[in-house]
Amino acid sequence: MSVRPVRLLCVALAGSCLIGGLAFAKTSHHAKKAATPSGPVLVWRGDVTTARGVVSDVADAWAKGGHGHIDIQSFNTASGLDAIRNGSADVAGSARGSNGSAAEAGLVFTPVAWDGLVLITHPNNPVHGLTLQQAHDIYYGKITNWSQVGGPNLPIDVYAVASPGDGVEYSLRRLLFGRGNQPVAAPRLYVNTAKLEEAVTLDPGALGASTLAGVSRNSKVRALSIDGTAPTAASVANGSYKLVTPIYLVTSPTSAHAAQAQAFVDFMATDAAKSALRQHAILPYQDGSELAAQDSSRRAAILAEVGARAVHETTAPLPSTAAPIAAPGATYAARAAAAPTSERTLEAKQALEAKREQEKLAAASKPSLKGVQGEATTVDAAASHGKDFTRVTSAAYVVASKSKGSKAGAGATYKVGKGDTLFSIAREHSVEVADLRAWNHLKGDSVKPGQTLRLSAHQ
């Protein structure tokens, strides 16, 4: 009987968010009893940032004007576009435009606002700003520690929402890399920006992307300046803040409520709607004609500054495992497989491969957890008794019982090679990751080629 090692992902927090976020956060906005709506209930679905900054208060103004109700179902961009295609929603919100795919060919993307794309970190982080080049290099995996950008000696924990499932991520990567589906060195994945923001508030080393509308009133995160310019309503409007994107409402001419949905889109240009947008640091699209005129040149200037160029984006789905987001190239597997070869990305890729192996074994086995405390145990089909299990801990590995000759002896050491991770080393030498950390005084799970590790407590 053998027990295969199981790697509990270092992104446990992200995993819990992936599970917890699968249920739509529904918020229905109804007109006050004094107002009698004459229109039908319209269903809006889309990304959280568009819901918070663009749709929520405008929906209230729409209802107060007697036009009807808007049922707001916020999740992410891909869910909204899918809902428009299958007819379960009348209007979708998106922080990106159409990707040109056949699936989106029948949808109408109408820009209704301008919002700033904002990089956020923990408020205790002493770094207040980045250059465009630094932002590019962090996401690309060239910069991995805050000390490289004037901060403390602390790893940069890049948090992300799968792109292009999320319009914010898609638009940011299109600005920094020339294509929205650019793989980046960000192994911590979340279902939407709301969950990402929550995680950033808990991690002093975190870095993630949201929008100005989403974080302008959130004192629990710090919005970083870019090239010395802070993201504000004024800097977005005058074009001095460079990371700006249009926000879209998406409709379908085949919708059962197509006429009413278009009426809501048209309502975004009214004074009542514009006033609601400005309360969230959002610039109404019609008021940003200069931004629209300079959009192409601004994008070209950003790419020139970071040494990138615009790339034609494929719309065909990349090979992937099952994902909670139905969008081409939006899965962790697709991005990790093609991401830049930084140490962080290499570890993430190896963790993914280990997870795949564990899932295959789990599918072919009949596990028993009798007498075992913990989780993430995979056993052979022959395993059926508690005595066959060893202790399960949160340190990421369950170590199989082996002959004494295979275990690391007192005083044994190991020199880290290229491609090694703390988890693969623990598995190879039948020790636990938590013990490796303690014996070598490691604060995290990162190891570097050439580093010598102790394999026992006795040296």
Q: Could you state, in order of their start, the residue ranges of all structural domains in the chain?
A: 20-113+246-293, 395-459
Tens digit of pLDDT for each residue in 420-455?
887 778 878 888 878 888 888 887 777 888 899 988
User: What percent of the chain is predicted at pLDDT more than 90?
Assistant: 43
The CATH classification number of 20-113+246-293 equals 3.40.190.10
**Residue 259 predicted with pLDDT over 50:** yes
State the average pLDDT over residues 7-35: 38
| Residue scoring higher pLDDT (365 or 158) | 158
Read off the pLDDT band of 392 (50, 70, 90): very low
Residues 227 and 131: their CA atoms lie apart, in Å, by 4
State the average pLDDT over residues 190-215: 91
Tens digit of pLDDT for each residue in 61-93?
999 999 999 999 988 888 899 999 999 999 999
Tens digit of pLDDT for each residue in 136-159?
999 999 999 999 999 999 999 999
Tens digit of pLDDT for each residue in 83-126?
999 999 999 999 899 888 888 888 999 999 999 999 999 999 99
**Residue 332 predicted with pLDDT over 80:** no
Same topology, domains 20-113+246-293 and 395-459? Answer is no
**Residue 406 predicted with pLDDT over 60:** no
CATH homologous superfamily of 395-459 equals LysM domain (3.10.350.10)
- Residue 402 and residue 418 in contact, taking contact as beta carbons nearer than 8 Å: no
